[in-house]
Amino acid sequence: MEVAGKDEEAAGSLAADKAAIAGGGAGKSKNALHSVIRSKGFVWLANYPQSAHYWSHAGHYFSLESLGIWWVTTALSEWPKQRPDINKVLEDFDRGEGRFGDRRQEIVFIGIDLDQDVVEELLDACLLSDAEMQEYLKRAKPNAVHVDFTSDPPQVLAAGAPSA
């Protein structure tokens, strides 16, 4: 099969990846993942920015399923009405810049002789690069809500609404 242009580059890159794996270049990574017995948690995927996904892995079984939407993308009218419930939701919100709300990567790995540094390196390689993140931010839908953590208690506002 002949390929040209970007397809040719992609085919070359795929061939190089396969060669590295066949030559043992990914051996350390492969061994690190073989020691994982169980992993589970929540993930934020760039191509599904509104949806929270549940990652579940045990032995040879792996599942990645949509749980629904992140709270930051949920219309304010759909939020809990009681303050204790709102506070519980806000526990998962980013209090720094705050632009990502409760979106996050939160995965627990359980294994025998697990090489945490290698597993973290593999997962970090899956994250968007700075340039990809900038492109993502240009295309992302605005959040449905904004949280003002400077007020006490924090105020959840409809996106675009002024702070009180």
**pTM score:** 0.74
pLDDT at 31: 72
pLDDT over 90, % of the chain: 58
What value does the mean pLDDT take over residues 46-52? Answer: 93
Q: What is the pLDDT of residues 58-99, one digit of tens each?
A: 999 999 999 999 999 999 999 999 999 999 999 999 887 778
Dihedral sign, Cα of residue 69, residue 126, residue 140, residue 145: positive
Structure tokens at 161: 């609404």
Q: Are strands 51-58 and 36-44 parallel, antiparallel or unpaired?
A: antiparallel
Contact criterion met (CB below 8 Å) for 16 and 9? no
Bridge partners of residue 60, in order along the sequence: none
Give the range among 3-12, 22-31, 50-59, 69-78 with minimum mean pLDDT. Answer: 3-12
Residue 9 pLDDT level (bands cut at 50, 70, 90): very low
Contacts 24+ apart (CB under 8 A), 149-156: 149/93, 149/95, 149/98, 153/83, 153/86, 153/87, 154/90, 156/76, 156/79, 156/86, 156/90
Query: Tens digit of pLDDT for each residue in 99-150?
Result: 899 999 999 999 999 999 999 999 999 999 999 999 998 888 888 898 989 8
Q: Cβ distance 126 to 60 under 8 Å?
A: no
* 43, pLDDT greater than 60: yes
Residue ranges of alpha helices (H) inside the chain are 6-22, 27-34, 83-90, 116-124, 130-139
Parallel, antiparallel or unpaired: strands 155-158 and 145-148: antiparallel
- pLDDT(160) > 70: no
| Residue 37 in this model has a pLDDT that exceeds 60 | yes
Could you give the C-alpha distances from 36 to 41, 62, 64, 111, in angstroms and in order?
Answer: 14, 12, 17, 4
